[in-house]
Amino acid sequence: MSTSPHRFGHIALLGPPNAGKSTLLNALLGQKLAIVSPKPQTTRNQLAGILTLGDAQIVLIDTPGVHVPRGSRLNSRIVEAAWQALAQAQAIVLVLDCPFYLQKPDLLEKDIKLLSRPVERSGLPVIVALNKLDALADVKNMLPVMARLGEAWPGAEIVPVSALKEKGLDQLLSVMTAHLPEGDSLYPEDELTTAPMRFLASEIIREKLFLALSQELPYNTAVAIEHWQDTPKGARVNAVIYVSRDRHKGMVIGKGGKVLKDVGSKARQDLIELMGGPVHLELFVKVREGWTEDEFFLNELGEEQ
Ligand code: GDP
Ligand code: MG
Ligand code: K
């Protein structure tokens, strides 16, 4: 009787902003780890989720969306983080938004061009997760997009999925596993991530800010955990929300403190779920002018990881 060997490796999730990379990571893990919002560039850092299967352990690296860096230092760091993820990986899953390309075929060409360079340079095998199938009027509509992607990356396996509705994920997992080298698991099977709890907590708060605030404001906020204490009654967490302008402070706090209160209670809910116990969360808002350009501050926040 022959059994298939156990496999271990890293796989990078790469793709344009809003294609559904973080949603896919969460769906594969079966737990919310990466933050998700309808706004591009919600994910600033790379985040690794550990997926333990019967015959493999896969470290999935979620990355910020690939786009042309423009403007601030924070922005170019977001793109750098995506490149760094490739250096550790044995395969790439390109996550692409199928219904979007049916609406905007010229952007399919643009994204193929943008993604080809890092993919080629990495020399890694490519798997395409053609996402958001649930949003197609007819699944047959994806065929021309699949054909074009097959041309762009010959030999790549293209797996239609819906990260949101959790469709096609088993197929994707078996294709991913097949691309990994033989090896033992590196992490205990109940370990979900390589990221520290503090980082996950600050990400949760950032997600709630993204959801609560309109337009450009979320891009100018950062979250730092200032104090964390585990007590018998649960975790006591103090977090600071940094804004880059004085007038933004009022917007984050809201009338009568409503916005901040709302962000705090939603974040607390998610933190309780993540930590499996009571959480006491206090949020503060501080102005730090020009923080998106401040190398020292960005290092402190760990935005370059
Ligand atoms: P990322 O920027 O690539 O990490 O994308 P996110 O995971 O943050 O998702 C961006 C948006 O697309 C969010 O509003 C998600 O709910 C939505 N989304 C992600 N996957 C799917 C999917 O399979 N179907 C649909 N309809 N929406 C999705
Ligand atoms: Mg993301
Ligand atoms: K997003």
- pLDDT tens digits, the chain, 305 residues: what are they? 557 899 999 999 988 889 999 899 999 988 777 777 776 666 666 678 999 999 999 999 887 665 555 566 666 666 666 777 788 899 999 999 999 999 999 999 999 998 888 888 889 999 999 999 999 999 999 999 999 999 999 999 999 999 999 999 999 999 999 999 999 999 998 888 888 888 889 889 988 998 898 766 777 788 989 999 999 999 999 999 999 888 889 999 999 999 999 999 999 999 998 888 999 999 999 998 887 777 777 767 754 33
188 within some domain: no
What's the 227 CA to ligand 1 centre distance in angstroms?
32
**Measured from the CA of 36, which atom of ligand 1 is nearest?**
8
Task: Assess whether 224 and 291 both reside in one domain.
Answer: yes
Cβ–ligand 1 distance for 197 under 6 Å, the answer no
184 within some domain: no
The complex's ipTM works out to: 0.98
In a mutational test of the pocket of ligand 1, which residue from 21, 33, 36 has the highest number of ligand atoms less than 8 Å from its CB? Answer: 36
**Measured from the CA of 40, which atom of ligand 1 is nearest?**
2
> In Å, how far from its chain's centre is CA 118?
18
Cβ–ligand 1 distance for 23 under 6 Å, the answer yes
φ, ψ at 97 (rounded to 5°): -95, 100
Indicate if the alpha-carbon torsion angle 143, 147, 148, 152 is positive or negative.
positive
Cβ–ligand 1 distance for 44 under 6 Å, the answer no
Residue listed under structure tokens 């690939």 = 66
Cβ–ligand 1 distance for 32 under 6 Å, the answer no
Q: Which ligand has the nearest atom to the CA of 67?
A: 1
Task: Assess whether 146 and 240 both reside in one domain.
Answer: no
pLDDT of residue 305: 32
Task: Assess whether 131 and 60 both reside in one domain.
Answer: yes
Task: Assess whether 171 and 224 both reside in one domain.
Answer: no
Cβ–ligand 1 distance for 18 under 6 Å, the answer yes
The last residue of a domain, from among 133, 149, 178: 178
Task: Assess whether 26 and 123 both reside in one domain.
Answer: yes
pLDDT of residue 214: 74
Cβ–ligand 1 distance for 52 under 6 Å, the answer no
- The residues, ordered by sequence, that sit 6+ positions from 130 with a Cβ below 8 Å of its Cβ are 96, 98, 142, 145, 146, 149, 158, 159, 160, 161
pLDDT of residue 304: 34
Per the structure, how many domains does the chain have? 2
Expressed as residue numbers, the domain containing 227 is 197-301
CATH of the domain at 151: 3.40.50.300
Task: Assess whether 218 and 149 both reside in one domain.
Answer: no
163 within some domain: yes
